[in-house]
Structures are given as structure tokens and as C-alpha cells.
Amino acid sequence: MAEKKQTAKKPSLKQVGLSEQGLMDLYTNLLKTRLLDERLRKLFRQGRYAGTYFSAVGQEATTVGPTYGLRDEDIIAPSHREIGASVTKGVPLDVIIGQVYARRNSPDKGKSHPCHYGYRARGVITPASTLAGQTIVGTGCAMGFKILKKDNVVVAFFGEGSTSRGGWHEALNYAGIHKLPIVYICQNNLWAESVPATLQAGIRDFADRAKAYGFPGVTIDGNDVVLMHRTAAEAIERARKGKGPTLIECKTYRWYGHSEIDPADYRQAEELENWKKKDPVLRAEKFMMDLGILTTPKREALVEQIDQEIDAAVQVCEKEKYVEPEEAYNDVYSEDFPVWRDEY
Amino acid sequence: MAEKKQTAKKPSLKQVGLSEQGLMDLYTNLLKTRLLDERLRKLFRQGRYAGTYFSAVGQEATTVGPTYGLRDEDIIAPSHREIGASVTKGVPLDVIIGQVYARRNSPDKGKSHPCHYGYRARGVITPASTLAGQTIVGTGCAMGFKILKKDNVVVAFFGEGSTSRGGWHEALNYAGIHKLPIVYICQNNLWAESVPATLQAGIRDFADRAKAYGFPGVTIDGNDVVLMHRTAAEAIERARKGKGPTLIECKTYRWYGHSEIDPADYRQAEELENWKKKDPVLRAEKFMMDLGILTTPKREALVEQIDQEIDAAVQVCEKEKYVEPEEAYNDVYSEDFPVWRDEY
Amino acid sequence: MKKVTYIEAITQALYEEMERDEKVFLIGQDIGLYGGVFKATKGLMDRFGAERVIDAPISEVYIAGGSVGAALVGLKPVAEIQFADFITPSMDQIIQQMAKMRYRTGGSWTCPMTIRVCCGGEVGGGLYHSQINEQWFFSQPGLIVVLPSTPYDAKGLLKSAIRGNDPVIYFEHKRLYRSVKEEIPDEDFTVPIGKAAIRKEGKDITLVAYGLMCQKTMEAIETLEKDGISCEFIDMRTLRPWDRETILESVKKTSRAVLVQENSKTGGVMAEVSATITEEVFDYLDAPISRVCGLDVPMLPFAPPMEHFFLPNAEKIVRVVKKVMEY
Amino acid sequence: MKKVTYIEAITQALYEEMERDEKVFLIGQDIGLYGGVFKATKGLMDRFGAERVIDAPISEVYIAGGSVGAALVGLKPVAEIQFADFITPSMDQIIQQMAKMRYRTGGSWTCPMTIRVCCGGEVGGGLYHSQINEQWFFSQPGLIVVLPSTPYDAKGLLKSAIRGNDPVIYFEHKRLYRSVKEEIPDEDFTVPIGKAAIRKEGKDITLVAYGLMCQKTMEAIETLEKDGISCEFIDMRTLRPWDRETILESVKKTSRAVLVQENSKTGGVMAEVSATITEEVFDYLDAPISRVCGLDVPMLPFAPPMEHFFLPNAEKIVRVVKKVMEY
Ligand SMILES: Cc1ncc(C[n+]2csc(CCOP(=O)(O)OP(=O)(O)O)c2C)c(N)n1
Ligand SMILES: Cc1ncc(C[n+]2csc(CCOP(=O)(O)OP(=O)(O)O)c2C)c(N)n1
Ligand SMILES: [Mg+2]
Ligand SMILES: [Mg+2]
């Protein structure tokens, strides 16, 4: 069992620890993530880009909440379902969409894989596919901050399935020994591709894993963006002050398949329906409306504005070409070492 | 903190769960391990064999206790400091010493490395040096027993330092999911080579790590052979009945260097002196004498008898030759695939 | 005789071996409930149950190392690594435990088991769903390494791997899963490990390839034969121990060789084949041995122009063969 | 000029680079309090403190992967893997993160760092304290791989590695730690990565080696020269990117080559060197290129007769060179 278990109480604006504007920003990021994600799904189905797409619809709060309020130099260590972290960290939309389109304007120039969103200018590490990879590398960033005596922090994201990996253990173990400035966000969406969480670990609450490392672990409702933000912000503050890491497990759910080519027929329809009722975006809306910060017209105006932003960014990417084939030779090494080229 | 913490209470013979003869056997294995270990150290210093030697003097109870009472077909998955497990599992002394001498009569024919004691006929897996390797492989044996529906168990041994390895985590995680018939013995001797346990984990009691896997973890006094046996025997029984794994952390101490070439000057003399006072062999002797099972003459006779056994086994090994060079070509594959041989 | 795809042949082999020997079991991610990300294990959990078709956690170290343990107590594990890209975490268990179990125990413990590894490019998989990494295992004494290119071989080699007494890395090429189809016998058959297949006899030049590159090479040969170049083509099938004899005999006959490899050139399998040919039949050579390989950059950049540019194809092979013929 | 051993040269390089640049830090097992199992880092924790000389837990995955992270935020990590045998768990982080960081991010993130790996046999280390495994990294685009054979190179290459902009696997051969000693300059110097060293000029045959095999080759050359065979000897020093030009030029001159490799033959570095020589300068060759390598069995069996039998030595090299000369 996790050390504490919280359910969403209705906090007043003061409890949230955010101004009205702050709360509005948090919500805007949440909504933008949702709209962008659904748009990218649609564009995939329309065959507008190659590869596949990993939707995070249903679990936006788990990435938006912790990221909101971070500094530019703070590091995000994402996996494959963290589009919300990029959005909230302020990565331009054409850069995010560019990555998915894998064109010339993609930060990786089309080299890696769609959904591997990274952007150095905002401290977002480009993920590799090997799960928990960025948990390990991100922990190394935190080690770096500590050695450099900087007061920056790292927020590392991963799914519950990724906690089975040995490298994940080695990273958290190290962070525990050295009290590194890092916050670990475990998005427990109950499934790792087709494997249920019950076949991923002999425990129910993945926050319990923190007990092996000597730092706090908490399990919270991952569909409550305000709770997500508040819990993470506290942990980030702790980390920034040198008090060490926190593992936050957030219970959530992905609405669609593992990627767009997965019908997800290993799940029960009922399970999905239940979770859809806990939609993190609707929930935030209701909360904001209850507080009187949001109104339906205001919301509609916001949707309109975001949609236009997305339209414009998609346009940019649609116009872009792929790189030239010879681009394959670049970025293997620094300019000190040219790559050997065979002529065939 | 571990789930329960036990200190050695003085159990009556009944509490021990062993007959007088059983207790005597347990003690005999303990003493034999000590005498053999000290002998092998001496032989190394005399230059009688190559390589190095990893002494387990000071921590014999942690291997002898859990192994005593196992069936032949039960599996021991050792690391590098488990000579006591081989002795207690009934591996002939000339086989154990043969491994150290790396001669023709060694079970591995001199191929691997001294102190990698393995012996198939008694279910002892030959270790590789890569730490926690046998924890992983041993867990696989337990998986095998489960699939085969056999009621055998595996006892896996490792030091506290080895719990930092990712593969260790993956193994225990898997065992937790599937409630495998395995008992994990963590010999916490406070040091991993020169690295103190405080730099190995952010926790003090390594049994806490079991909380990440959903099975019990207990921390006990590792220098009390009776407690070691009783605690392990219970866990083994649980495992045999399909109730899943247990992690037993035993606090102990190695008296000498990491291997015979290590002066261990990174440790405080005081620490060693304190632990020497807790000598597991002397302690068992006192316990048995208090119970009236052992007397000084009986003990002396036993020492004499064991020494003769060791003498005889050493003799056998001293007389053995190394294998022929061409032996290097054998055992790479089954006979289906001969090894390519270049003539130089 | 039925026409089956490469992936169907794999499913059949697994099914039949599990029927034949109850010691055979499967472990891997998404192989049970889901039937495998490419559906190679479809239906097997229904037939054989969750104890013999194990949906593993994301634990490549354990999948490999746990299988070693199961082999030690008498089972015949067939583990799956979902993508060759994710075999890196298993290296420790494969190299230090599986490959050396027999050797380091002086033959007292053995480790007959198979790891199926889905590999290869030309599927738009990018840097992390296109790797092969066969060269690491190719260079490891103690391992058997196979990589079939046809449904027949896929089935026959997998059966040999499962029935054998040694640890096998069985690569299956995802680009071939559904792109090749052929008739295979209804009755039980195996393909011997360690024997290459002469896919076509010829007299002017020897072409050697494996996996997806066999298709590319066959395509190239069509053009080359039209241009009057008689090609002998050898599909290696087994990479370790590779069939020196068949290749050397062929080169003795043709005096020329072009070796085709999907992976990056440096340090690849074909370097060994080339070096051995020079070492053993130097006198027969009328021209330098040439290799057509993947670029010496990380395998495999995602964007289609780069992916295409990286990989050997029929045109590249034709050009190199012609150059060698003109030598 | 002072005479220093190979291991002293390494300690000096670490010390001087840490003095020069406070971004340089060390991480590895037993490197601090203990000063390293071979004492390569002796005194460094006293001088630079526990924040810059980190005694790591037994976590090879983290040692490699955490260093990648530290490099991302501007540090210059020098990680130590205690024995090359224990680098297998790090493969994932080395191959998937470190080697490809620049490539997979289109150059936006870079990963300048060094992993020191203690390697090699002839020290009675047996199967798990003698490995090198250099071929895995040799075949990986994105990595730099070096393996010095002299104190001068050990120091100069380590400095180049630390100062460079790319990820480096720096192998150091434990057999050479205290067995070679030479005078090296007092002032700061570096040895360029990517350049081989012509240790001896000659005209009859080109010998190529690296690491411990340089000593064996030099020993062989003494005998060979007495017998009137003029040997040119090249120490590769950098394995990736290897110095094609120097080796090819030499073979053009001598028309013969023998390549010496400590590790098992199949799939090793010298296969690539041999294949490239044939590919590029075939016309100049008067005899087949031959390799003298470790046996094709797991490296390295413990018992002295097997260890000796496994490894190339001067006698074997002499025999092979003579055979090639007689060709
Ligand atoms: C090391 C590794 N093994 C397997 C995979 C294939 N894979 C991609 S995502 C995934 C499931 C991840 O589950 P989880 O961590 O819970 O994240 P989620 O997809 O649920 O967000 C798997 C198995 C991989 N990318 N890396
Ligand atoms: C993977 C791996 N890394 C490093 C080593 C080198 N090494 C051998 S024993 C040892 C310390 C082991 O400590 P612990 O597990 O506590 O066992 P102890 O020696 O204290 O019994 C180390 C680091 C190794 N054998 N394997
Ligand atoms: Mg999940
Ligand atoms: Mg210890």
C-alpha cells in the first residue's frame, strides 16, 4: 500500500496554489493537449503521415499537471505518451507536429520516430523507444544538476509497465541514495500494450515501489489536473530544495489503442466506459465552471483559438518536405569525424 | 522498515524445529564450512592454486542455515560467497576444492573461475561472475518448477550490493507476479567490495525491497544459524506450497577482504572487532553447549574428523593435473556442432 | 502442400512443437492475450493455456535469463524479444549466461533454448523498430544464430532450434512476415542448422545474402542474368556456425563474390565471410570481394528517403556486381 | 620526461583533465574510497571530493545511462566499467542512448562522454575477468572506440576522449597496466583519435594489431627480422573510426598482411580490416591476408594451459607470417 492515498477533494482557488490566470493556463494546456491529440489521430487515419501515433487521450492531466510551472531549464524526461508535457513546457505546435510528420522541420530531421517529441530549447529530452530509457537518462540529468549545484529539477514520465525494467530500478535506486532533484511520474493506465498491470507487478499501487529506495511514494487520482499539479508542484519544490525524489503514481486510462493500429480488443468495453466518465478535461471544466472562472462561451472561444493554432501548425508541416537522402550521413558524429561513405 | 525484525531469542530444541541429530548436522555443516574456508585461504597464501579466493568467514550461518534440509532436486542459486551452501547441499569436498584448484577434476574442468562452485548432481547452479546473475536464472528455475508442477524450490543467494542490479529487480518482480517457489537470501555484510551499503541503497533494511514486489520481506540476524534455518525453512515451506517467494535479509559481516588480495583497509578496525564478537560458529557452539548437545571433547573430535576429510580432499586435488590445452575446444556446443579450429 | 506466409510458418512451427513436446513453452511481451504484436503467436494461449504461453512484463533481462533457468530444470523455452532493438537489455543474460552455460560448467549444465527476435527494416520502423544486431551474436562462441528468408526455412529452422541441444538466437525478419508465401509440406520437416542453401546455381559470380537481402539479391539476379551474367546465389540461413564449405566451394567455382548485408557495413557478418574467403581460397579469386551493405550510420533513420538510401537494393547490387565482373 | 606505467598514465590523464575542467567527473564502482580495483583512480577522491569521484552502486545500466544524462546537462562524464565482462548490462544505454543521442535528435542533443572499460586476458582472470567485447562497439555507428597499447597513447587518447565532442568507449588493457613503462612528456599532450601508429617501418609484410597484441607482435617481429623478414607494424589504437588510410598504404607497399587479434576470430575487428584490404587494394596483394586470433571459444578459459592455448603469441604470429611470406 502506498504511503498516502488521496482522492480529489474540491479545493478552493487558494488550496490550488494558483492564481485565476494560473488555473486558466493549466486548463488551456489541458484542452490544447486534448485537441492536438485528437487532431493527430485524425490526421493519421487520413494517411497524412507515416509510422504510427500513440494517443494520450484520457490521461492528459498526468502530463500537463506536473509540467505546468516548470522553468525552461528544468528537464522533462518523457516516454511515448507525453505530448501534454511538450505542450505545457511550451514547445511550439509546429515542432510537435513536425516530429510526427518527420519532415525537414522536425527537431530530429525525421531520423528517429514519430511521437518521440524532444526539444532542447525547452529542456525536453528526445525519447528513445526503449522503455524507461529516459527515466535512467533523466536521473543522470538530475545527478548533473546536483554536481553543477544548480537548483533545477527533472520530471520523468513513464507508464506502469515500464517500472518492470531493471534500468528503471537502477535509476530510482541511485536517485534515492543521492537524494537527486527529480520527480518520477508513473502514469498507471492499467495496461502496457495488451498486458494488464496485474501481470506487470505483484502489487496494486506502483507508488509502493518507492519503499525500496527510501523516498516518498504517493498514489493519486491521475484524472484530476489540479491534484496532479499540486502534488507534483510540492514534490518539485522538495526536489529543488535538495530533499530528494518523489514517486507519484497517478491512476488513469488511455481511451484508445496502444497506438493507432491497435484495436485494443483485449480490454472490456465496460472498463473503458467507466473511465470515459472520468474524463480529465470535462472534469477540469466542471471544476473551473464551479469556481466561476470558466464559462461555456469562454470555453468555445478557447477551442476556436486553439483549433486555429493547430490548423496553422499543421499547415506548416504539410508544406514541409522530407530531408534529402544524404541527410542520413549527418549527426552520426561531431564534425571531428566524418562518416565513411561507400558508393554503390 | 522491514515487516518484522527479529533478534535471536534462545529457542528450545522444540522451537528450533530440529531433532538433536538435526541440530548437530546443522552445526557440523557450519563448522565444516569455517574450517574449509580457512584452509582454502591458507592454501591460497601458500600459492597452491591460481586466481583468487573469496572468503565467507564470518557469514557462514547465512548459507548453511537456509540450505540445510533442502532436497537434492531443490536448486541453489549462489553468487561468489556461498561455499557454505555447497558444503551443506552435500557437494563432496574434493569437488569444492577441485573448483578452486581448477584442475581436471573440477566440475567445470577449470574453465570458469575459482569460487564458482556448481554441481549439478546436488542442484547447485554454477555461478557466473556477473552479480545477481543466478538470482535471475534461479528465478527462471522456479518458473520452470511451477510450469512442470513440481514441488521443488529454489534458494537464491546474493549480497546486499547485488540488489542494486536491474536484473535482480526484474527477477523478483516476476517472482512476485507469479508467486514462484523461491526464497531470496540477501546476505547484507554491509560492504560490496569497498562500497558501503549506504552508497548502495537509500534504505537501511534491504528486506524493504520486497514491498515493491508484493511478497514478504524480513530482516534477521544472519549470524544466528538456528534463526537462519528456521526462518528460511518456513519460507521454503511457504514456497513449496505455492504461496510464493520471501526475501530474507540477514545482517552479517565478512571478516576478511573482498577476496584474498584485498587488504580491506577501507573499513574501520572497530567495525570488524565488533562483528568478530558475533562469530556465528562460536555462537552456535555456545547455544549447543547450553542445550547440552555439544561438549568440548565432542567438538574437538569433530574438528579433527573434518580436518582429516579436508586433508584427504586437498590431497586428491593437489595430485590432479590441469586439463590439456585442447580441452578449450570442448563444451562450446553439444556434439551437433564441432568448433572451428584454426592451426597456427 | 499449402501456401503459407513466413509468419504463418512460424506460428505453425510453434504450434506443432508445443503439441509434440509439453516441455516447450513460450514467454514474451504481448504474446498471449494479444497473440503477439505481429500475431505470430495467435491462438496459442487459447490452445495451450497461460502457463505455457506467458505474457511477460517489460523485462527483457528476465525474459532471457529466466528462460535460461527454465532450461536448466528441463524445459524447452522459446522466448520472444519483441523487437531486436530491445534485445540490448538482454545482452547480459544472453552472453554471460545462455551462451556460456555449457562451457563454463564444463558441460555439466546445458541450456537448450530459443530466443525469437523480430528484426529488420524497410517497414518504416525508424531507429528503434528496425535493428537487427545480428553481428553481436554472430561473434559469440556458444550461440547458434539463424535468420531464415523463406516460409519453409522459417518453419524448419525454428523446429530444429526448439528440438536442438544448444542455445539459439532465431531472428525473424518482419518485412518478410507477409511479403513471402510458398507451399510447404503438410508433414513434419526440419531444416538443418549450419547448412546454407544454394538458391540458384551459376558460374560467373557468387552472391551471398541472408534475410530480407535474399529478396533484393534475387531481384538483382533477374536483371543480371538478362545481361548475361550467370549468378550463383547462396542464402546463408544459419549465421553461426556459418556454412564455410558451401560458400568457399562456390567461390572456387566462380572466382568472384559479392556479399549483401542489410545492417551497417563495419564489423558485420559479411566482413567475416569476406575475410575467410580471402584467407582460404585467395588463389581462386579473379576480383576483389565486394560488399553491399547498409550505410555506416545508425540503423535505420525513419524518414522514407533516408530509409531507402540506407538499405541495399537490387539496383545497388546490380551496380556492384557489374563492377566486380568488369574487374 | 618521466617513466610511467600504462596505469599511471591513465591516472595522470584523469587527474589533469579534472584539474583543467571542473565539468569532468568520474563515476564507477570502487573508484573512490578504494581508488579502483587496479588503483587507476587512486588519490582522486581525496583531491576532487566525493561529488566528482562517485562510488557507484552495482548498477552498470545506471553508470552508463546516468552518465548520458549528465552529459546532456553539460558535464563531461568519465564512467568506469570495472571489467569489460560486466559491460553487457550497459549495452542498452550505450547502444540505444549514448551512441545515438546526436543522431536520433538530429544533432540537437549531444553526448560527449567517456566510458573507461578495463579489458583483456593473460592475467588468469578466467571467463569473467578477461573479456574485451570490442567488436560490439566497433560495429556501432555513433561510437568512438579506442584501445591504447602504450603509456603515451593511454594518456593522450584518454585526454582526447575527455576533451572531445563524441561518446567514447575507452578500453584499457589490464595486462598492460604495469607491464609497460615509458618516458612521456611532462607537458600537456594529446593523441589524435582516428590515427593509427606505425610502430616500425618495413617492406616485406604489414602486421596490424592493437592492445596487448602489440607486445606479442613486436616480440614476433624480433624473431622475424632476425630471419630476414622486414616487417612494418601498425598499432591501430583507435578501432572506430579506424585508420583505413595508414593500413591500406602500408599494404600497398608490402603486399602482404597479417592481422593479430586477442579476441575470438569470428566477427572480430580484424575481419573488417581484412575485408577492407581485399576490397580496396586487392591488386597489390601477393598473398592471402591472414589473421592470428583467439580461439573460437568463449574468451577466456581459466586453467593456465587453456588460457595460453587460446591466446595469440609470438610463436603463433611468427609461424603465420612465415607461411604468408612463403606463399
Ligand atoms: C525495452 C522495451 N521493451 C518493449 C517495448 C515495446 N513497447 C512499447 S510501449 C509498450 C508498453 C508500455 O507500457 P507502459 O509503460 O505502461 O506505458 P503505456 O503505453 O501504457 O503508456 C511496450 C511493451 C519497448 N518500447 N521497449
Ligand atoms: C555486474 C557486476 N558488476 C561488478 C562486479 C564486480 N564485483 C564482484 S563482487 C562485487 C561486490 C559484491 O557485493 P555484494 O553483492 O554485497 O556481495 P559480497 O561481496 O559483499 O558478498 C563487485 C562489485 C561483478 N562481479 N558483476
Ligand atoms: Mg501503461
Ligand atoms: Mg555485501
What's residue B11's pLDDT? 53
DSSP one-letter string for C34-82 = S--TTSTTTTHHHHH-TTTEEE--S-HHHHHHHHHHHHHTT-EEEEEES
pLDDT in tens, A94-120: 999 999 999 999 999 999 988 899 999
CB atoms within 10 A of CB A274: 11
Q: Is A264 helix (H, G, I), strand (E, B) or coil?
A: coil
Q: How high is the pLDDT of residue B1?
A: 39
D246-295, pLDDT tens digit by residue?
A: 999 999 999 999 999 999 999 999 999 999 999 999 999 999 999 999 99
Q: What is the pLDDT of residues C104-147, one digit of tens each?
A: 999 999 999 999 999 999 999 999 999 999 999 999 999 999 99
With a cut of 50, say whether residue A1 has pLDDT above it: no
pLDDT category at D237 given cuts 50, 70, 90 is very high
- Which residues of chain B have a CB within 8 Å of the CB of A214? 201-203
Neighbouring chains to C with at least 3 Cβ pairs closer than 8 Å: A, B, D
pLDDT band, residue B17 (cuts 50/70/90)? confident
Residue D279: closest C-alpha in chain A: A342
Alpha carbon of A191 to those of A138, A206, A251: distances in Å? 23, 13, 11
Task: Pick the range with the lowest mean pLDDT from A11-25, A190-204, B75-89, D100-114.
Answer: A11-25
CATH superfamily of D2-184: Thiamin diphosphate (ThDP)-binding fold, Pyr/PP domains (3.40.50.970)
pLDDT of residue A14: 73
Q: What is the pLDDT of residues B103-138, one digit of tens each?
A: 999 999 999 988 899 999 999 999 999 999 999 999
Catalytic residue among C76, C102, C116, C129: C129
**pLDDT > 70: what percent of chain C?**
100
* D97–A125 C-beta distance less than 8 A: no
What is the arithmetic mean of pLDDT over B171-182?
Answer: 98
If pLDDT is split at 50, 70 and 90, which confidence band does A11 have? low
pLDDT at D276: 98
Quick check: C144 and B337 CB within 8 A?
yes
Q: How is residue A107 written as a grid cell?
A: 527537431
Segment among B5-19, C62-76, C213-227, D34-48 with least mean pLDDT: B5-19
Q: Cα separation of C62 and A139, whole Å?
A: 23
Option in C60, C125, C127 nearest A111 (CB): C127
Q: Which residues of A touch C124 (CB under 8 A)?
A: 50-51
What is the reported pTM? 0.97
* A249 strand-pairing partners: A186, A219
| Closest residue to A144, CB basis, from D69, D92, D103 | D69
pLDDT band at B343 (very low <50, low <70, confident <90, very high): confident
Beta-carbon pairs below 8 A across chains B and C: 160
- What local confidence, expressed as pLDDT, does residue A3 receive? 46
pLDDT at D84: 98
pLDDT at residue C31 greater than cutoff 60: yes
Distance D86 CA to ligand 1 centre (A): 26
Asked whether residue A10 carries a pLDDT value surpassing 70, the answer given is no
Give the 3-state DSSP-derived string for C232-296, with helices as H, strands as E and coil as C: EEEECCEEECCCHHHHHHHHHHHCCEEEEEEEECCCCHHHHHHHHHHHHHHHHCCCCCEEEEECC
| Region A327-343 average pLDDT | 95
Q: Would you call A108 and D106 a contact, using CB atoms and an 8 Å cutoff?
A: yes
- Residue with CA at minimum distance from ligand 2 atom 13: B192
CB A331 within 8 A of CB D102: yes
> Which of D89, D127, D320 has the CB atom closest to B112's CB atom?
D127
Query: In angstroms, rounded to a whole number, what is the distance separating the alpha carbons of residues A221 and B153?
Result: 40
Chain D positions touching C139 (Cβ under 8 A) are: 135-136, 264, 266-268
> In this predicted model, what pLDDT tens digit does every residue of D291-321 receive, in sequence order?
999 999 999 999 999 999 999 999 999 999 9
| D94-144 pLDDT per residue, tens | 999 999 999 999 999 999 999 999 999 999 999 999 999 999 999 999 999
Q: In the prediction, which pLDDT does A2 show? A: 43
Q: Cβ contact (<8 Å) for A173 and B202? A: yes
Residue C97: DSSP 8-state? I
Distances in Å between the alpha carbon of B107 and those of A16, A264, B126? 67, 51, 9
Q: Which three cell numbers stand for residue A25?
A: 493556463
Nearest one of C217, C207, C273 to C244, comparing CA atoms: C273
- Among B287, B309, B322, smallest CA distance to B23 is for B287
Average pLDDT taken over every residue of chain B: 95
C3, C182 Cβ separation under 8 angstroms: yes
Res B10: pLDDT: 56
CATH class of C197-324: alpha beta
DSSP secondary structure letter of residue D132? -
Contacts D320 to B, Cβ<8 Å = 344
Determine contact: A208 vs chain B, CB below 8 A.
Answer: yes
Question: Chains with ≥3 Cβ pairs under 8 A against A?
Answer: B, C, D
Mean pLDDT for the stretch of residues B81-105? 97
Pull the grid cell for residue A213. Answer: 529506495
Max CA distance (Å), chain C: 60
- Min Cα distance B94 → chain A (Å) is 38
Domain ranges for chain C, please list them: 2-184, 197-324
C308 is catalytic: no
C-alpha cell at A137: 537518462
Residue A46 makes CB contacts below 8 A (sequence gap 6+) with: none
Q: Give residue B122's pLDDT.
A: 97
Q: For residue range D151-179, what is the model confidence (pLDDT) as tens digits? A: 999 999 999 999 999 999 999 999 999 99
- Answer with the residue of higher pLDDT: B11 or B209: B209
Strands (E), B214-342: 217-221, 246-251
Return d(Cα D107, Cα B11) in angstroms, integer: 67
- For position B3, what pLDDT does the model report? 46
The 10s digit of each residue's pLDDT in A115-149 is 899 999 999 999 999 999 999 999 999 999 999 99
Q: Which residue from C9, C48, C17 is spatially nearest to C31, judged by alpha carbons?
A: C48
Atom of ligand 2 nearest to the CA of B59: 21
Residues of C in contact with B332 (CB under 8 A): 102-103, 141-142
pLDDT band for position B16 (50/70/90)? Answer: confident
Reported as a single tens digit per residue, the pLDDT across A68-88 is: 999 999 999 999 999 999 999
Element (H, E) at D233: strand D231-235
Quote the mean pLDDT of chain A: 95
Ligand 2 atom 1, closest CA? B130
Query: What count of CB pairs under 8 Å joins A to D?
Result: 160
CA-CA-CA-CA torsion for C210, C211, C213, C217, nearest 10 degrees?
A: 60
> Which helix or strand (DSSP H or E) is residue B25 part of?
helix B20-45
**The three three-digit cell numbers of residue C83, written as one number:** 523487437
Distance B40 CA to ligand 2 centre (A): 20
Find the B192 Cα to ligand 4 centroid distance in Å. 4
> Does B199 contact chain D (CB < 8 Å)?
yes
Count CB neighbours of D244 within 10 A. 16
Residue of B37, B115, B158, B193 to mutate, ligand 2, most atoms within 8 A of C-beta = B193
Collect all residues of chain B within an 8 Å Cβ-Cβ radius of residue C142: 332-333
- C61, C99, C289: residue with CB nearest D278: C289
Domains of chain B from N-terminus onward: 18-329 (3.40.50.970)
Residue A190 has which C-alpha cell? 492499467
Name residue, grid cell 510458418: C9
Residue C96: pLDDT over 90: yes
Across the interface, of B164, B175, B211, the residue whose CB is closest to A208 is: B211
Beta-carbon contacts of B339 under 8 Å, excluding residues fewer than 6 positions away, are B329, B332, B333, C141, D295, D296, D297
Long-range CB pairs of D317-321 (<8 Å, 24+ gap) are D317/D207, D317/D216, D317/D217, D317/D219, D317/D220, D317/D258, D317/D260, D317/D292, D318/D220, D318/D223, D318/D224, D319/B344, D320/B344, D320/D258, D320/D290, D320/D292, D321/D205, D321/D207, D321/D220, D321/D224, D321/D229, D321/D231, D321/D258
Considering only CA atoms, which of B219, B226, B248, B218 is closest in space to residue B14? B226
Q: Which residues pair with C169 in a beta bridge?
A: C115, C145
Asked whether residue C53 carries a pLDDT value surpassing 50, the answer given is: yes
**Selected catalytic residue, list D129, D173, D237, D256:** D129
Residue C110 touches chain B, beta carbons under 8 Å = yes
- A295 has a pLDDT exceeding 90: yes
| Contact predicate A89/A76, CB 8 Å | yes
Choose, out of D139, D285, D320, D323, the residue to mutate when testing the contact with C (most C CBs < 10 Å): D139
User: If DSSP codes are grouped into helix, strand and coil, which group holds residue C297?
Assistant: coil
DSSP B54: -
Domains C2-184 and C197-324 share a fold: yes
Which cell numbers in the block locate residue B316? 586428491
